[in-house]
Amino acid sequence: MSMWLRSCQTSTVTLRGFRCPHSKPAAVTRCCSTVQGDVRVRFAPSPTGFLHLGGLRTALYNYIFAKKYAGSFILRLEDTDQSRLVPGAAASIEDMLEWAGIPPDESPRRGGPVGPYLQSQRLDLYSQTAQQLLKTGHAYYCFCSPQRLELLKKEALRNGETPKYDNRCRHLRAEQVEEKLAFRVPHVIRFRLESGIEPFQDLIFGWNRHEVAQVEGDPVVIKADGFPTYHLANIVDDHYMKISHVLRGSEWLISTSKHLLMYRALGWQPPTFGHLPLLINKDGSKLSKRQGDIFIHSFQSDGFLPEALLDITTNCGSGFNTNRMGRRIDELISEFNPSKITTHSALIDLEKLPEFNRIHLQQSIEDEQQCRLLIGELQEQIQQVYATELEDEEVLHEDYIRRVLHLRKGHIFSMKELLSPAYAYLWVRPSFSSQQVAALTAEAQHIASLVLKLIEERGEELAVDRLSKDLKTLVKQTKATKYSEVMKLLRLALSGLQQGPSVAEMMVSLGPAEIRHRFQKLLLL
């Protein structure tokens, strides 16, 4: 049993959409919830495509809402548009929610008490509901052909009007309907829209009312193939799945009055609605599946952490007591405040995602349990990328990789960076030529001897700060080589490169044994 506030107070720390029964309507715009009972929310995508950033954000707000109020987060797949289903999309949506760290409590995969959670497996329920609407006169059979509907559309466009069905079949006599059904004339079932819709209070957009009967024709609720449309299926499922709050994109706000008419026709209590503002690109354009790079599996394959994705999608929006980078899911839940969700669209700047990832990667490295997971992932990836080049299995040891991660935390933006050529020296021994060495100094062997002596003196415990000082002292023992040339030589011997982390950090990363191996090679050269 849960509710937001257990006592009615004329307070500003409240939820829009719930009026305090003891307050004056004119004086209070936000008030405490008088709703009690289990909080149950749902994310109901269509597997006509893979999960993208906009969908993840809707799922995330539902998940946070459920966990904030000790409720349940349900995944329901609306797969009634069979012609547009994408193979593998249904399983991928649930995979991505689990990867993102916001797994559903009930779903097609996990099951639950009010399943099935695939709409295509609930057709009998929709058919029964449609028959109920037919019996009470709230729905009717429509036998209009696709050709007639297309002509209606063209005529409306020619006249500069919004296309809509003219409700012709709602006026058929009972005997006409029976005759057409007897002759198996193709048909759909339409819901009879009525005027006089009551206003409803949205959690985010406040009071709303759309006289849909004046601007729309009667909507189809059961298609000719027997499958329901969204308008029927979503209210049937929300009712039987005991959904308490519907949090969905603001594009559905205008359809809510239509859905409330259906609830009223069926005698059902509707859930509380909250319509989330759109997530848009920083230039103001709408996120589009055609962008390609907004799909969650793309972020996953590019090496971004799920925590960074969740952080950036909430950081650019509203609904939280604070707005700072680096928040993890438990912090998002604790700081969530529905009354702070605004109606303004959320502009997401994906150019900032690497910085979000850098912060969360550093946090993961500093957390021992998560660091172990990162080490395991990196071990597998090293073997895949450098399979034929690995000369020393030591680089796959947990302690070695942990040392590398801790030295590079705060500097790298993703784990994939450590697999790039810039960091190849960590996993495979570099190659360099005598010409490259000669171009830097004629004292290469002398310098190599000094480094080997230094490592021998320092033993197995190396530290970046101490080594930095030691190297400055070492340079003073050369005859004619400047400090910058010595550093370039050391960097070349350690990595084969002229850029990268400091020489001291490279040495600490590699460890005494590997330093000896690489400088003995320089000594022999």
Rounded Cα distance between 78 and 118, Å, is: 6
Q: Where does the pLDDT of residue 32 fall: very low under 50, low under 70, confident under 90, or very high at 90 and above?
A: very low
pLDDT tens string 257-294: 999 999 999 999 999 999 999 999 888 888 876 666 78
What type of residue sits at position 494?
A: L
Look at residue 291 in the predicted model and tell me its pLDDT. Answer: 67
pLDDT tens string 454-465: 999 998 889 999
Percentage above 90 pLDDT, the chain: 85
Look at residue 498 in the predicted model and tell me its pLDDT. Answer: 92
> What mean pLDDT comes out for the span 446-475?
95
Please, are residues 189 and 134 in contact by the beta-carbon 8 Å criterion?
yes
Of 108 and 524, the structure prediction assigns the larger pLDDT to 108
Q: Which CATH architecture has domain 434-524?
A: Orthogonal Bundle (1.10)
Q: Where does the pLDDT of residue 24 fall: very low under 50, low under 70, confident under 90, or very high at 90 and above?
A: very low
Look at residue 37 in the predicted model and tell me its pLDDT. Answer: 67
pLDDT tens string 389-446: 888 889 999 999 999 999 999 999 999 999 999 999 999 999 999 999 999 999 999 9
Residue 75 has pLDDT above 70, yes or no: yes
Regarding the domain delimited by 296-356, which CATH topology (the fold level of the hierarchy) does it fall under? Glutamyl-tRNA Synthetase; domain 2 (1.10.1160)
The CA R_g of the chain, rounded to the nearest whole Å, is 32
Rounded Cα distance between 95 and 53, Å, is: 14
Q: Rounded to whole angstroms, what are the CA distances from 444 to 217, 487, 520?
A: 86, 11, 11
> What mean pLDDT comes out for the span 376-390?
93
> In which region does residue 141 sit, left (phi positive, over 0), alpha (psi from -120 to 50) or beta (all else)?
beta
Please, are residues 400 and 392 in contact by the beta-carbon 8 Å criterion?
no
Burial class (CB in 10 A: 0-12, 13-18, 19+), 118: middle
Please, are residues 37 and 3 in contact by the beta-carbon 8 Å criterion?
yes
Look at residue 249 in the predicted model and tell me its pLDDT. Answer: 94
Task: Name the residue among 482, 497, 471, 492 with its Cα closest to residue 443.
Answer: 482
* Sequence-separated (6 or more) residues with CB below 8 Å from residue 491: 497, 498, 499, 500, 503, 506
Look at residue 286 in the predicted model and tell me its pLDDT. Answer: 82
Q: Where does the pLDDT of residue 484 fall: very low under 50, low under 70, confident under 90, or very high at 90 and above?
A: very high
Percentage above 70 pLDDT, the chain: 92
Please, are residues 198 and 208 in contact by the beta-carbon 8 Å criterion?
no
Superfamily of domain 121-276: HUPs (3.40.50.620)
